Structure 1
Amino acid sequence: MALGGAALLAACDQIDTRIERAREIADASVDQINGETVIDPTYRNLERAAPADRALAGTVIAQFAVDDEERPMFAIGSIIAKPLDIPASGPVEIPDDAAMIEEELEYFDSPEGEAMLEAGEPPAAAPAPPAAEAPVTREILAEPAQVMPRIKLDPRAAQESRQEIAEAGRNIEQFALKDDTQRLQMRRLSQDDLKAMAPEERVEVRKIARRAPVAREVVQKQLDANAVMLDTMTRYGVGGEVALSRQGQMVIQIGADGANPTQFRGRNGPADFLARAEAAECPDNPDAAVIREDLAVATACVVRDLRASGQFEYVEPDFIFQNQFARKPKDMPVGTPGETKTGSNGSTATPAKPAVSDPNDPLWALQWHFRDKGTAEGRTAGGAGFESFWKSQGITGSDGIVVAVVDTGLQMNHPDIAGSPNIMPGYDMVSDPRMGNDGDGRDTDPNDPGDLCDPTKPGAADSFHGTHVAGTIGAAATNNGAGVAGGAWDVRIVPVRALGKCGGRLSDINDAIRWAAGLVPAEVSDENNVWTEVWNENPADIINLSIGLLGTCPASLQDAIDSVTEAGVIVVSAAGNARMATSLYAPAGCRNVVTVAASDARGQIAPYSNFGPEVMVLAPGGDLTRDDNGDGKPDGVLSTKAATNCYDPVTGAGVENCFYAYEQGTSMAAPHVSAALALLKARDPGASREDIISTLRAALEPRESLQCAGLCSQYPGAAPIEGSPDMCARPCGQGLLNMANVPVKATGGGGR
């Protein structure tokens, strides 16, 4: 794409200077490995820790492999669609306010309410709903609805396909009625009912209330759409399978005899299942015989024809998202290294409450990004102020707050994660085994087996991206004398794997977002292809999306985001690393997300970071080519991640394997904000989504224009800054993340 090429252009002399600076930092790290440089001995926790608890990845990539221009790709044969006029099917609200509860009770006592109850009664063969005064048990509420159907569409047997559609409609009717009855039971709970429940029962009621119903109208709209799809597929002679969902979004698989991705076997190359969007356009006068030979083009033709039918709210290819590690310093503008200074153990002059002190994790000494902002000893100009928040508020998190990380999964055997009390059951949402890289499709194991796409690429390696992201939020056990600290020490992390080999399907990401919020179930099948539902028993308060797609926000992704934000969930998105406008990136450019750009250790926007009016906040993302805090280490973000070619930062001795590494990217910035929001939610558990975001906004550190500036030659169309004609402003949020600015609540905080 010309637009992407223009945005990613960088001058050759600037590239060379930037790479040379990276080599200098890499050489410094080699000196440490050879014992020529030893970390400041005042870092006492580092010295006392066992080498296995403090070893770091020693490879600093001075010259990264340069990818081609980022261009959108999609999964061949996979299409996402939603029929028009799907009725709202949001979660039932069980309000805390007594007046709202009484208002609902009055409604159900009215003639209109009674009529609604009668209309929702199940068939005579089904159990009758309990009377209004009868207690509602958790067993009734927690009973899952029937799995949503998958329907085969076969042009060679069109009549049989139409019969299957009709049968699916009949089967779903009884379960929709049953689901309606359960939700009506919840609506009839009085305030006394709620008060009489144990706390865990009230949590269960609210969790069940968030779940999307099996609504008959929603299912019927999807079933009706199958006829249109069958006609379209018949035109090109390709079969298909359609998966229905509770909220109306449908995933259509065409070709391979209409097989669902979980039925694929083998590990073919990416070209067999991924295609460049611009290389698979439908011709003006498509020949069915020719199109059948090219499934990528057939996908584009089916998308075009379904859109033209006028029967759908949206139809789009199943785009492929990538993680947001910054791996292309050739695209980075040149900066001048800052002055070096002696490191410290991170103590500050600010009086701290005795309840919380600096974490004893040995690598805390190197986590500049959590430190207080400033130039005094123990502070960092680009620090995010977590240190002061923990101490002044007496809050390090709460085990009642849940952050879901939709990413590449989690290295479940990581020593700082395997024993962490913060990890909750997650899910592997990667549907295609060729992308799953673990031999199967969706299942209950969110472990990250690696995501290496093309092993022939220079510098290619498994990213273990989700482990690094989750570690910054709080997946690792903080204050345990090993490894790193997280932003929220006491938080519940739900890992949801949606990115695998070569990236992640949009359809998988949409499902992952809804599942993480507790709106829809995941589905697993046994060896007999019998499907069962798996709900997230720890619905998220916050969802972290450190992922990106070069392109405007897909309609289905916006649909998924809207559905969870309506349920009160905060969605945090990385801005992207293409050094371009966030409006041209997703999910950064989607509505209803907290978009985060990346800053360096100086508090300036990182040269790789996307920017634009959609950005709300600037947070530490790091810059591996700088050492502005003078600790002899690259200014990346230090977090959990298994690595090889490591070293002991105290002795300088080489270590074969380790579990901590520096990385850079807006992927690293977003989890800082997710951790901050988790702390704010722990500080005020009853606050709404909007109130929590407002508190974050109010605490942002004001920034100056030069903190969000770059060379005009590298940002075509940007406005020059007055007094600095060579520098152009880039919108990068309302301010810098600084948790030290959050006022202390007079009533005290929660958490530990």
Structure 2
Amino acid sequence: MLPNLTRKTTQIAIGAAMASLLVLAACDQQGTRLERARELADATLDQISGRAVVEPDAEKTLMTASVMDRAIAGTLINDMAVQSVDEKSMFAIGSIIAKPKDIQPAAIAEEEALMMEDEDVLNDLEEDFVDTEEVPAGAPAPAPAPAAPPPPSASMELAQPARLMPKVKLDPNAPEESQQQIAQATQDLERAAASEPAPVARTRSLSPRSLESAPAPTREVARKLARRSLITGDAIRKQQDANSVMLDTLSKYGMDGQVALSREGQMVIQIGSDGADPTQFTPEKVANARQAFLAVDTGAGCPESTDMVTVQSNPALATECIVQDLRASGQFEYVEKDYIFENQFVRHPKPTDPGTTPSTGGQTPGTTATPPVTITSEITPNDPLWSLQWNFQNQGTGEGKSAGGAGFQDFWTRQANEGSSEVVVAVVDTGLQMAHPDIKDSPNVAPGWDMVSDPRMGNDGDGRDNDPNDPGDMCDPTAPLAADTFHGTHVAGTIGAAASNNGTGVAGGAWNVKIVPVRALGKCGGRLSDINDAIRWAGGLIPGEDADGNEVWNENPADIINLSIGLFEFCPASLQDAIDAVTDRGVIVVAAAGNARVSTQYYAPGGCQNVISVAAGDARGQIAPYSNFGPNVSVIAPGGDLTRDDNGDGRPDGVLSTKASTNCYDPVTGEGVDNCYYAYEQGTSMAAPHVAAALALLKARQPAATPQELKATLIAALDPREPLQCAGSCALYPGTTPIPGSPDMCARPCGGLLNLANVPALSTTSGGAN
């Protein structure tokens, strides 16, 4: 008999272990997997008999944490549905994005407008802005700021606050009034241009090393100012001309609309009374709107025989026809529908028996679970759920390691660096649960913005404002397992929004980082037009607008932008335009590759240019079955697989992070818990934030490094993947290449495996250490 152990307890323990064995066997019949299950059974008995299988401190951390600090959601799933290549994308009815031709990129215009040497730029910045910053003791008194530039004309002397996107009413029945509105909007933009700060050359004068010797206040002002887009007269004139073309096109169909103008030339037109002013929808009116304002993109376009009456009676068709006519005008660089993006969680399966209770991760409720294996390392966060985060572990086998781990712990230890609050990562997503217990007091969260313009999608009763809180995004309450995803909270938690090493919940990849939440997805997804503006606001290129029409800039321009979103289309031109605009100013954009099991060339933003496209890997370091792939995929990072349990702990190999959930359980006792704040999820959405966090650590390690140098360091540290590690059944992945010797398996290019352990330590003479 085992000491202090009853026969009943022994039976329960063996039963729990054998249940885990059966689950594992059902998922994978390989001999090595069964052997892993047998080891789990032995370990369970070892734990009960007093033979410790975890470090005492780690066990104490998990066991002594409150249930709310350790309860989790997420179970092993045998039947996982993923997006089909036959599924169609959707677009917002009556919303069109366009950009007039030949508008000079703002970055080029600024370079041509200001040809200065580095010291001239720094001197001007000090004179203009040092009086608004804290001046170090003993510093010389700042020079008086120069007078503001004169207004472009006498009629603009009484300038009102500039608007981010002046609205122009286009009414074919009142063409003169519409033209007056066009003229007024043009003046608004000119007025805003007159009040813009002097443009600053980007590629030369604001290179990081040229600012090293400047005073800290000057460096900070230069960093913020460097991202702001200059409104050029060229862009203003071309938007004015384009408005007239749009008015003529609407007249053809007897429809009215509204156009919003922007600094960089991108325009959004809303057709008809519903699309013209989404702020007219009060919470009471939008409560039952559901998907009535979205349409499936059938690809049919606008038939040649379509008459005006038919177009007027079908808003979705009107959108197609006006897009077609505007393209045919030859006036625009691009015209496209306002596509709807979705988060990149892999879809949950349909319930097999609605009357059953949720699984508890392979454990029997009421029994004692096998405590997770801890990592023995110099730097280990004291967050109680840390040992369940295989994704951050060092690569390898044995205690505290995972074949698919990204080596974060090795980086924290060897580099003596867990991040820096000077590094900013913007998360363009569903927003952030500000009341989350691991986030509400986190020093890592900076002010963000809500860029969701349509209250029908916003789910918060209003349009754009300074509140990026996530109120939920459930689209169709009647759908199976319908629930709010709180997707942005899970993504941001992986990067570092959650307070790490605080004895609560989970740890993030970068313990010290500044997260800027930018809400662009709401109910039923997010509009392309909102995402474009969210990217630019995150990068500090354009301001938001408060209720009084005043500009609100992002005072923490992003070094890195994470886009865990997706659209089953080729990269839209307007999205590529927004990405190019921020990357031209030194922002690194990280994008989820997508979850449709196709090449990223058919997906956005993973298939866009100038992004780091990230595929999802499992705990073995192999590409996940749902992940997109392709030659432009740079990195494979932990994305999780809820159908596997390769570490044999009875829990799914998903990525554990922050988000409010229901149907949870206590990982110590296995008992059910109604609500919790941590959950396993899977998807390329989970993979991308690992790369964003890795880049944030590299930036903290070498603050003066350029984006190109940071990306080169990241890529150089990747572990190459063997063909079979990125392979899949040829029947599931059409168009892929069979692997020699394995005719049923096809290669899927997926990049190298993220491994921060490969990043060499900086020498003391490199100048980049903390």
Q: So what's the TM-score if we normalise by structure 2?
A: 0.82
Q: Which residue of 2 aligns with 1:238?
A: 255
Q: 2:65 aligns with which of 36, 49, 55?
A: 49
* Aligned mates of 1:215, 1:508 — CA distance in 2: 22
Q: CA separation in 1, counterparts of 2:74 and 2:473?
A: 21
Q: Which residue of 2 aligns with 1:170?
A: 187
Q: Which residue identity is paired with 2:62?
A: L
Shift of 1:287: 0.8
Where does residue 503 of structure 1 map in the other structure? 525
Say if 2:447 is the partner of 1:425.
yes
Alignment-derived partner of residue 284 in structure 1 = 304
2:103 pairs with 1:86: yes
| 2:727 is the alignment partner of 1:709 | yes
User: Residue 740 of structure 2 aligns with which residue?
Assistant: 722
Match of residue 642, structure 1, among 660, 663, 687: 660
Matched to 1:295, the amino acid is P
Q: What letter is aligned with 2:250?
A: M
| 3-state DSSP of counterpart to 2:247 | helix
CA contact (8 A) 1:683 1:751 kept: yes
Q: Distance in 2 between matches of 1:491 and 1:714?
A: 40
1:208 and 2:225 are equivalent in the alignment: yes
The one-letter code sitting in structure 2 at the alignment partner of 1:499 is: L
Contact 1:395 1:750 in 2 (8 A): no
Q: CA deviation at 1:103?
A: 9.5
2:243 corresponds to which of 212, 226, 245: 226
Unaligned runs of 5+ in 2: 1-22, 125-145, 351-369
The alignment of Structure 1 onto Structure 2 pairs a total of residues equal to 677
State the partner residue of 1:580.
598
One-letter amino acid of the structure 2 residue matched with residue 222 of structure 1: Q
- Which of 697, 719, 731 is 2:749 aligned to? 731
- Quote the offset at 1:644 in angstroms: 1.4
Q: Any idea what SS the aligned residue of 1:714 has?
A: coil
Aligned match for 1:346, one of 358, 372, 375: 375
Tell me if the contact between 1:19 and 1:329 (Cα under 8 Å) persists in the aligned partners: no
The partner residue of 1:486 within 508, 532, 538 is 508
| 1:12-66 residue CA offsets vs partner (Å, 9 max, x unmatched) | xxxxx999639xx9xx9xx99xx99999654422112122111111555554577
Are 2:709 and 1:691 aligned?
yes
- Identity value in percent: 62
* Equivalent of 1:272 in 292, 302, 311: 292
What secondary structure sits across from 1:612 in the alignment?
coil
In structure 2, the partner of 1:744 is: 761
CA-to-partner distance for each residue in 1:251-308, whole Å, 9 max, x for gaps?
Answer: 0000117622233332243342000011763121221111111111001000000000
- Displacement, 1:688? 0.7
- State TM-score, norm by structure 1: 0.84
- Give the Cα–Cα distance (whole angstroms) in 1 for the partners of residues 178 and 24 of structure 2: 60
8 A contact 2:291–2:524 mirrored in 1 = no
Does residue 543 of structure 2 align to residue 521 of structure 1? Answer: yes
Answering whether residue 38 of structure 2 is matched by residue 21 of structure 1, we say no
265-274 vs 57-66, which moves further: 57-66
Of residues 690, 693, 696, the one that matches 1:678 is 696
1:88 to partner: Cα distance: 2.3
* 1:467 Cα deviation after fit: 0.5
3-state secondary structure, aligned to 2:385: helix
Q: Deviations over 1:319-344 (max 9, x none)?
A: 000000012679xxxxxxxxxx9952
Relative to structure 1, the CA distance from residue 195 to residue 655 in structure 2 (aligned partners, 3 Å threshold; closer, same or farther) is: closer
Whether the aligned pair in 1 keeps the contact of 2:54 and 2:372 (CA below 8 Å) is no
Give the Cα–Cα distance (whole angstroms) in 2 for the partners of residues 515 and 505 of structure 1: 15
1:542 aligns with 2:560: yes
**CA-CA distance at 1:375 after TM superposition:** 1.1
Is contact 1:400-1:491 (8 Å) kept? yes
- Superposed CA deviations along residues 558-581 of structure 1, whole A, max 9, x for unmatched, are 000000000000000001011011
* Worse-matched range after superposition: 216-225 or 315-324: 216-225
> Aligned letter for 1:445?
D
Measure how far apart 1:633 and its partner are. Answer: 0.8
> Would the alpha carbon gap of residues 286 and 683 (structure 1) be closer, same or farther in structure 2, given more than 3 Å must change?
same
Q: 1:750 & 1:480 partners in 2: Cα distance?
A: 28
**Aligned position for 2:344:** 324
Q: Which runs of 5+ in 1 are unaligned?
A: 1-16, 107-116, 129-142, 331-340
Closer, same or farther: CA 178–342 of 1 in aligned 2, 3 Å: closer
Distance in 1 between residues matched to 2:191 and 2:453, nearest whole Å: 28
SS at match of 1:242: strand
SS in 2 for 1:77: strand
Q: Is the 8 A contact 2:111 2:200 kept in 1?
A: no
Determine if contact 1:599/1:606 at 8 Å carries over to the other structure: yes
1:623 matched to 2:623? The reply is no
How do 1:134-173 residues align onto structure 2 when only pairs under 5 Å count? 145-173=162-190
* In structure 2, distance between residues paired with 1:630 and 1:646: 20
Q: CA separation of 1:477/1:615 partners in 2, compared to 1, >3 Å: closer, same or farther?
A: same
1:688 and 1:196, CA in 2 relative to 1: closer, same or farther beyond 3 A?
closer
Q: Distance in 1 between matches of 2:507 and 2:697?
A: 14
Conserved 8 A contact 1:402-1:542? yes
Q: 1:425 and 1:547 mapped to 2: Cα distance?
A: 21
Distance 1:195 1:629 in 2: 47
1:403-414 equivalences in 2 (<5 Å): 403-414=425-436
Question: Which residue is equivalent to 2:88?
Answer: 71
The aligned amino acid for 1:424 is A
Asked if structure 2 preserves the Cα contact closer than 8 Å seen for 1:344 and 1:378, the reply is yes
Aligned residue identity for 2:293: F
Residue 684 and residue 104 in structure 1: after superposition, are their counterparts in 2 closer, same or farther (change >3 A)? closer
Q: State how far apart, in whole Å, the 2-side matches of 1:202 and 1:188 are.
A: 12
